[in-house]
Amino acid sequence: MTMQRRSFLHSTAALALLGTAGCATTSIPSRARVVVIGGGYGGATAAKYVRLLSDHKIDVVLIEPNAAFVSCPLSNLVLGGSKQLADITTPYAGLERNHGVTLVKDWAKAIDTSRKTVTLAGGATIAYDKLVVSPGVELQMDGIEGLRAAHASGRVLQAWHAGPETVALRRQLEAMPDGGVFAIAIPEQPYRCPPGPYERACQVAWYFKNAKPRSKVLILDANQDVVSKAGLFKRVWAEQYKGIVEYRPQHKTVAVDARAGVVKFEVHEDVKANVINALPSMRAGAIAVQTGLNNLANNRWCGVDFLTFESAVVKDVHVIGDSIMIAPAMPKSGHMANNHAKVAAAAIVSQLSGWAVNPSPMLTNTCYSFVDDKNVVHVASVHEYVAADKTFKAVAGSGGLSPGPTELEGSYAMNWARNIWADALA
């Protein structure tokens, strides 16, 4: 953290986030409190930026059960074996030390939206003026027959929340005999991180190519086709991982039999695999669902006002990150969650201060995918708020796609990760 608080507040970045209208007329109430649920890409960023944008006048309490932040981006490299969990772990202490965020290590158990309080699993109750809900996704384990029990037994893991399960899945790959099969089952979109499963297939294939060359990676995709960077991934599988990776579209997994090592589909024959990584459908994080914020898409996702990220259902509750119903062409990504957080933080500070909310927020996104330990491809986009449609839309001609994997993009990807971790946590 080299940038001083005051210089940040007077920077164009801070003014752009807040919008400038009405800044001089009212002042930030000194005792307002913002409570944030979830210290991931969205929540940690929101906690820090409410402090920064309010000149540290608004109290911020961050509720997160984990002792440290473990990044999903780059976690596929732990499966490939080129990174360790420690490489993708950052302590939360910087938020407290550098920004005065109060850290509460606990689960938010219940939100009372009429009393404006959050009750913790430990029993305490915290009052809020504004609440930010960023709990990520909940995996819908019951959507695949046998999956909940297979997961509980430790036989079929998802590792779609980075942490100990990522290491456990790596151990399964290490224990698999050469000549074995790793099957990854992908749900229909939308799900957390569109390119994530395809990057994972590359990482496992890279490991097999070097350590178990007779082994196979089977990609069992419920979608019609690869949903992100399709041409790039397919080229890598055909050229770099020929004979190792096999892609099967329109394979919707309906059941797993962990004991027999079998994956079953709506149509198509069963598949046998040594290591099964079955990803079920996803929905908004459990606390958002429990609070009734999940009003859209068959109650899977939370609708928000895209100017402020305030819930469409409950006032003074802002939902960000993977839990929201996305705007067109908006991925469920860490980069996006970080950007949602900044727009929401600016809107919250403005609302608590009696200022006008920025009427034209912008979002950016870049998703890097490692195809081996060094070479990377990316997809990028820019999204602008369109007032007439009350949503974000991709800016025509913005963004782009790599022509092919390079080591140079590998260094960009590592720096992207270091920068976004610092932006959210340092």
Ligand X SMILES: Cc1cc2nc3c(=O)[nH]c(=O)nc-3n(C[C@H](O)[C@H](O)[C@H](O)COP(=O)(O)OP(=O)(O)OC[C@H]3O[C@@H](n4cnc5c(N)ncnc54)[C@H](O)[C@@H]3O)c2cc1C
Q: Which of 18, 104, 8 is nearest to 65 (CA)?
A: 104
Q: Which of 283, 335, 342, 383 binds ligand X (CB under 6 A)?
A: 335
Q: Based on CB atoms, which residue is closest to ligand X, 32 or 367?
A: 367
Stretch of residues binding ligand X (CB under 6 A), selected from 36-44, 86-94, 169-177, 225-233: 36-44
Dist. CA 39–CA 41, nearest whole Å: 7
Minimal distance in Å, beta carbon 179 to ligand X? Answer: 26
Q: Based on CB atoms, which residue is closest to ligand X, 208 or 355?
A: 208
Q: Which residues pair with 219 in a beta bridge?
A: 184, 247
Q: Which of 383, 370, 410, 352 is nearest to 31 (CA)?
A: 352
The answer to the question of residue 160 lying near ligand X (CB under 6 A) is: yes
- Residues that bind ligand X (rule: CB under 6 A) add up to a total of 36
Stretch of residues binding ligand X (CB under 6 A), selected from 122-130, 180-188, 238-246, 331-339: 331-339
Q: Based on CB atoms, which residue is closest to ligand X, 324 or 357?
A: 324
Stretch of residues binding ligand X (CB under 6 A), selected from 134-142, 148-156, 211-219, 234-242: 134-142
The answer to the question of residue 367 lying near ligand X (CB under 6 A) is: yes
* CB-closest chain residue to ligand X: 40
| Residue found under tokens 């003014």 | 15
Of residues 42-61, which lie at the interface with ligand X (CB under 6 A)? 42-43
Question: Is 57 in contact with 353 (CB distance < 8 Å)?
Answer: no
The answer to the question of residue 285 lying near ligand X (CB under 6 A) is: yes
Dist. CA 377–CA 24, nearest whole Å: 45
The answer to the question of residue 146 lying near ligand X (CB under 6 A) is: no
Q: Which of 33, 34, 41, 371 binds ligand X (CB under 6 A)?
A: 41
Question: Is 319 in contact with 304 (CB distance < 8 Å)?
Answer: yes
Other C-beta atoms closer than 10 Å to the C-beta of 423 total 16
Please name the amino acid found at residue 171.
R
Please name the amino acid found at residue 298.
N
Q: Which of 144, 133, 108 is nearest to 47 (CA)?
A: 133
The answer to the question of residue 187 lying near ligand X (CB under 6 A) is: no
The answer to the question of residue 192 lying near ligand X (CB under 6 A) is: yes
Please, is 52 exposed, middle or buried when counting C-beta atoms within 10 Å of its C-beta (0-12, 13-18, 19+)?
A: buried
Judged by the rule CB under 6 A, the positions of this chain that interact with ligand X are 37-43, 63-66, 72-73, 75-76, 107-108, 134-136, 160, 192-193, 196, 200, 285, 287, 321-322, 332-335, 337, 367-368
